[in-house]
Amino acid sequence: MQLVSWLAGSLLLLPAFAGVLCYVVPSSRLRNGFILLTSLALVGATIVAFATGALEYSPRSGIWHTLVTLADIGLLAFFAVMGWKRKSPLIIALVLLQALMLAYLKFGLKAQVDVQPLFVADWLTIAMLLVVGLVGSVVVVYSVPYMTEHDLHLSSASNQQPRFFLLLLLFLSAMNGLLLANSLYWLFFFWEVTTFCCFLLIAYDGTEECWDSAYRALWMNLLGGAGLALAMVLVYQQAHTLSVHDIVEGRANLAAASLPLAFLCLAGLTKSAQMPFHGWLLGAMVAPTPVSALLHSSTMVKAGVYLVVRFAPAFRDTYLSYVLALIGGFTFVAAAMLAISQQNAKRVLAYSTISNLGLIIACAGLNTPMALSAAVMLILFHAISKALLFMAVGVIEGGVHSRNIERMEGLFARMPFTALVTVIGIVSMLLPPFGVLIAKWAAIESSVKLPVATVMFVIGSTFTVMFWTKWVGKLLSISPGSPVVRMERLHPLYLSTLLFLAMGAVVFSLMVAEVLNRLVVPAVTQYYGSAGFASDMPVATETGWFPVLLLFIVLVLAVVLPLVFIRVRREDVAPPYLCGEQVEEVPDVRFRAARDELEEVVIGGHYFDYLFGESRHNRWMNAVAVALLLVMFGVAAL
Amino acid sequence: MSGWLTPLWVVGVILLSPVVGGLLIGLDRKISARMQGRVGPPITQPFYDLVKLFSKSTIVSTKMQLVSVYLYLTSVVLSVVMLMLGQDLLVLLFVLALGSVSLILGAFSVRSPYSQLGAYRELLLLLSYEPLLALFVVGVYLATGSFMVRDIFKMEQPLLLTLPLFALTQILVLAMKMNKSPFDISASHHAHQEIVRGILTEFSGPYLGVIELTHWYELVLLLGMTALLWTNNLWGGAVLALSSYFIVILLDSVTARMTWRWALRVGWGVGIPLAVINLMTVCLERFRAG
């Protein structure tokens, strides 16, 4: 009991408390110390939670419920004021709707918001806590040097870092709370806190563009919040309980394919930036890079998919579930296709996130044990790789002063460490036998019960190969015989965080059997009876086998042996073929053009904008996505 | 197969596949020549070519190229072995895709306009054939209830009866993967219509030899996958595979290179619909059977 209350306290309150401390402490050195300590403590707390296993906790005092209600009112008031300032009737309407629902719940239905136990951590929660604790903390540490640099570039000289770290750490607290909350009422509260933090963090730089993006994120997430509030009222009307676990485990008297669950899914879809709500996540990249890394990997969007995965057992084998699979599958394909046409690295990453979240949602919609295992695995592995990639792009941006992939040509010669780390991140998203691919394999194998989803998965995966490969190709493209590359100088915190995540991506993929058995299988088995994986062999199912370790060994050897054993002598290096008109000296990549003038070789990348571009596809994609949403509600209402 | 036989079988597969592949390529050149009214080289010519390539001096532009060709070779050999051991088809496909990506990255790793253009074109080809291969695997699953190759051999009826259209998509895949006209857009298999060989521009000597060798393995792999459609006796599969290869050779001789847009349109406008129609019929049949 003692341990549990400490644990719950440190997961829920510690980051928020540290954030407040950061806000009031004037010295930046002291503040940075606090931040590092907090991150370490958070990592420790999540590891303890992992070691403890499933736990339950209810605070003894009832004052917390009152505090949450007051905070809810405060948050809604804040959103209303922001909506008023922006003169946005939509935002005000959404806030009013939420307020109305909460009031109706409190006074109309006289709902009992207290649920016993108030906080529950089952294995799904613990898996998510690990993501937030480990990846989130790494991002926070990374942002210490990043924000110092960032503020130097900022035109407004005012030091906003205290506020930044307050929001960042508050975000982690809210995320932990959202994962642990067993009462929908509390879940709603934490949900709104994440919306709040996200809104202010996107607007951090304060430019016109930032505010535009922030407001877009605000109204879309408020729509999700309104869905959650509606769901809460409907659930209580039908089932007379707000307990998440009662609903999930079927103890509550709730119809499987019902409107409340559809509203819950709507909330999940908005937060996880599924089409047609993907606009806010694309806009969110105007925020400083650590914010993007946090939003895309461990918080915010993962809250959305968490909600859907959490409630998936409640709508098993319903049409609602299948429509959800189609919505996710469609987003998976569409976002992957649009990613091909993007030159902006952060935008490519954003589309890749949207696409992967679509895959997770689709897996939850398929709703078989193995599909759910795939979803949980994707959440874990995607978080590591995506945080790594965003952080790497942040560092690259510091080096080449651009987010444009075209400007990253031959980065291996300029920033070898960062380029290597980026390639590891991309490869861990793209190629076997890394974790994301193993999850994708499980997803495709489990999708055969809904062949439409399979076709979507297959096509989307091909698009994925295309945009990642193009990017890696740009990073690798080097002029022959360039001078020996020397490792770039990086801030030690950059170096350590990037290294940590890159190693994490590799090591966790190597230990995928462990990850499966310790985290994924328990998380899925508790609701589905099995996890779809055969226990005797690592990563095998009844219909297939993924020999992870074997592939790892063979492929690593294939990469390492040539690098170690084949010596390339200087005289063996030849310049590229330029129709015999090249200038002969290596590493000169110039050629004789008309009138014998020497010209530099310029190689532009292909983005196939006319084929896969946003302007060509956005309209119909949004139309299809909206239609699918309507079908989802239609199916649920009937 | 169990115990000590398995390693022996693996070694046998690794050693014999290139012999079969090389002979098939030799046959290909002979048949192509006869179709064009030439005598053509001896069937063993590809082996002489390979020996010659390996005896040339090594010239590279970047070290990444070495990694690229060996990774390409390894992953294709790995997928052939997985096929012959009756392993998971989907994993096999992933490993094969890794090989393609590796070769493409090798072409990207040199700052050369020709090689990079070839790499982009190979990516576009990949966009056309990769879904077809994956849908083929899905079709096999729907027909057999398993992703494992070894379970196909337990079927009483040839798969061709339930998956007839996939025999056609496999022909498309074969033509695209083997760089045959009209799909030879990233490089041409028999360099009959180009001076600069696209994605292969910057590879030479032994490394080009490794790529050539990998192509042989790839040929064996793809024909082996086609042969899965008729596993009930050896001859059925062999005839099916060889006749699809013959069709590809014929196509190669009577057509010229088309644009990548056209290739993409064929892959997506003809290949994928064929595959999806076949998947739908399989589903319908299963549905009717209950």
ipTM of the complex: 0.94
Nearest CB neighbour to A473, from listed B91, B105, B196: B105
Give the C-alpha separation, B127 to B121, whole Å. 10
CB spacing of A568 vs B63 below 8 angstroms: yes
CB spacing of B126 vs A576 below 8 angstroms: no
Question: Contact B230/B158 with Cβ under 8 angstroms?
Answer: yes
**CB contact, 8 Å: B136 with chain A?**
no
For A86, the enclosing helix (H) or strand (E) is helix A63-86
Backbone angles phi, psi at A120, to 5 degrees: -130, 135
In angstroms, the separation between the Cα of residue A550 and the nearest Cα of chain B is 10
Q: Which residues in chain A have Cβ-Cβ distances shorter than 8 Å to B78?
A: 551, 554-555
* pLDDT at residue A22 in the model: 86
**CB contact, 8 Å: A637 with chain B?**
no
pLDDT over 80 at A192, yes or no: yes
CA A231 from centre of chain: 24
CB spacing of B62 vs A480 below 8 angstroms: yes
- Alpha-helix runs per DSSP H in A431-491: 435-446, 451-476
Q: Which of A542, A568, A584, A589 is the best substitution to test chain B (most B C-beta atoms within 10 A)? A: A568
Which residues in chain A (357-416) have CB-CB distances under 8 A to chain B?
A: 409-410
**CB contact, 8 Å: B93 with chain A?**
no
For residue B66, give the chain A residue with the closest CA.
Answer: A562
* pLDDT at residue B6 in the model: 85
Give pLDDT tens digits for B265-283. Answer: 999 999 999 999 999 999 8
Q: Which residues in chain A have Cβ-Cβ distances shorter than 8 Å to B6?
A: none
In 3D, which of B132, B237, B253 has the Cα closest to residue B192? B253
pLDDT over 80 at B190, yes or no: no
CB spacing of A476 vs B116 below 8 angstroms: no
User: Three-state DSSP class for A608?
Assistant: coil
pLDDT over 70 at A367, yes or no: yes
Listed by start position, the domains of chain A span: 1-315, 322-566, 567-600
Q: What is the mean pLDDT of residues B93-114?
A: 93
- Domain total of chain B: 1
For residue A409, give the chain B residue with the closest CA.
Answer: B111
Q: What is the mean pLDDT of residues B135-163?
A: 89
Q: Strands A119-121, A598-600: parallel, antiparallel or unpaired by DSSP?
A: unpaired
pLDDT over 90 at A412, yes or no: no
Q: Which residues in chain A have Cβ-Cβ distances shorter than 8 Å to B272?
A: 459
Residue with tokens 């990374």: A142
For residue A572, give the chain B residue with the closest CA.
Answer: B59
Average pLDDT, chain A: 89
Q: Which residue range(s) make up the domain with B105?
A: 5-289
Residue with tokens 């990998």: B214
Give the C-alpha separation, A224 to A232, whole Å. 12
CB spacing of B71 vs A558 below 8 angstroms: yes
Give pLDDT tens digits for A28-54. Answer: 888 888 899 999 999 999 999 898 888
Give the C-alpha separation, A351 to A346, whole Å. 9
Q: Which of A476, A541, A590 is the best substitution to test chain B (most B C-beta atoms within 10 A)? A: A476
Which residues in chain B (261-280) have CB-CB distances under 8 A to chain A?
A: 272, 276, 279-280
* pLDDT at residue A544 in the model: 76
For residue B98, give the chain A residue with the closest CA.
Answer: A431
**CB contact, 8 Å: B87 with chain A?**
yes
How many A/B residue pairs have CB atoms within 8 Å? Answer: 185
Give Cα separations from A570 to A481, A577, A581, B58 (angstroms).
8, 18, 22, 11
- pLDDT band (50, 70, 90) for residue A440: very high
Question: Contact B63/B106 with Cβ under 8 angstroms?
Answer: no
CB spacing of B138 vs A480 below 8 angstroms: no
* pLDDT at residue A484 in the model: 67
Question: Contact B125/A492 with Cβ under 8 angstroms?
Answer: no
DSSP class per residue in A536-579: SSTTB-SS-B--HHHHHHHHHHHHHHHHHH----GGGB-PPP-T
* pLDDT at residue A158 in the model: 58
Give pLDDT tens digits for A540-568. Answer: 777 777 888 888 888 888 888 888 888 88
**CB contact, 8 Å: A455 with chain B?**
yes
Helices (H) and strands (E) in chain B, counts: 11, 0
Dihedral of CA A285/A291/A297/A298: which sign? negative
Give the C-alpha separation, A13 to A17, whole Å. 6
* pLDDT at residue B176 in the model: 94
**CB contact, 8 Å: B88 with chain A?**
yes
Give the C-alpha separation, A293 to A400, whole Å. 19
- Percent of chain A at pLDDT > 70 equals 96
CA A46 from centre of chain: 19
For residue B199, give the chain A residue with the closest CA.
Answer: A577
Q: Which residues in chain B have Cβ-Cβ distances shorter than 8 Å to A576?
A: 61, 110-115, 201-202
* pLDDT at residue A155 in the model: 56
* pLDDT at residue A238 in the model: 87
| Residue scoring higher pLDDT (A160 or A41) | A41
* pLDDT at residue A31 in the model: 87
pLDDT over 90 at A100, yes or no: yes
Nearest CB neighbour to A563, from listed B63, B116, B138: B63
* pLDDT at residue A580 in the model: 72
**Pick from A61-65, A286-290, A435-439, B52-56: least confident:** A61-65
Residue with tokens 């690229």: B68
CB spacing of A543 vs B147 below 8 angstroms: yes
Q: Which of A452, A466, A611 is the best substitution to test chain B (most B C-beta atoms within 10 A)? A: A466
A218-232, A237-251, B174-188, range with greatest mean pLDDT? A218-232
In angstroms, the separation between the Cα of residue A543 and the nearest Cα of chain B is 5
Q: What is the mean pLDDT of residues A175-203?
A: 93
**CB contact, 8 Å: B113 with chain A?**
yes
Residue with tokens 């337990």: B154
| Structure-token pair, residue B268 | 């997506």
Q: Which residues in chain B have Cβ-Cβ distances shorter than 8 Å to A559?
A: 67, 70-71
In angstroms, the separation between the Cα of residue A297 and the nearest Cα of chain B is 25
Q: Which residues contact A323 (CB under 8 A, 6 or more apart)?
A: A365, A628, A631, A632, A635
- Percent of chain A at pLDDT > 90 equals 54
pLDDT over 60 at B175, yes or no: yes
* pLDDT at residue A588 in the model: 62
In angstroms, the separation between the Cα of residue A573 and the nearest Cα of chain B is 5
Q: Which of A405, A603, A611 is the best substitution to test chain B (most B C-beta atoms within 10 A)? A: A603
* pLDDT at residue B81 in the model: 93
Give the C-alpha separation, A135 to A385, whole Å. 10
Give Cα separations from B90 to A236, A376, A455, A532 (angstroms).
45, 20, 14, 17
Q: Which residues in chain A have Cβ-Cβ distances shorter than 8 Å to B148?
A: 543-545
**CB contact, 8 Å: B159 with chain A?**
no
In 3D, which of B226, B59, B223, B78 has the Cα closest to residue B140? B226
- pLDDT band (50, 70, 90) for residue A601: confident
For residue A558, give the chain B residue with the closest CA.
Answer: B71
| Structure-token pair, residue B211 | 């790529």
- Alpha-helix runs per DSSP H in A203-318: 208-239, 244-248, 259-271, 279-283, 289-297, 301-311
* pLDDT at residue A584 in the model: 67
**CB contact, 8 Å: B125 with chain A?**
no
Backbone angles phi, psi at A538, to 5 degrees: -70, 130
pLDDT over 60 at A157, yes or no: no
Which residues in chain B (26-55) have CB-CB distances under 8 A to chain A?
A: none
What's at A348, amino acid-wise? Answer: V
Give Cα separations from B147 to A286, A336, B112, B152 (angstroms).
44, 26, 41, 9
* pLDDT at residue A528 in the model: 86
Give Cα separations from A349 to A284, A509, A604, A610 (angstroms).
12, 21, 20, 20
Give pLDDT tens digits for A303-362. Answer: 999 999 999 998 888 899 999 999 999 999 999 999 999 999 999 999 999 999 999 999
Give pLDDT tens digits for A481-514. Answer: 666 677 888 899 999 999 999 999 999 988 888 8
pLDDT over 80 at A255, yes or no: no
For residue B113, give the chain A residue with the closest CA.
Answer: A603
Give the C-alpha separation, B279 to A459, whole Å. 15
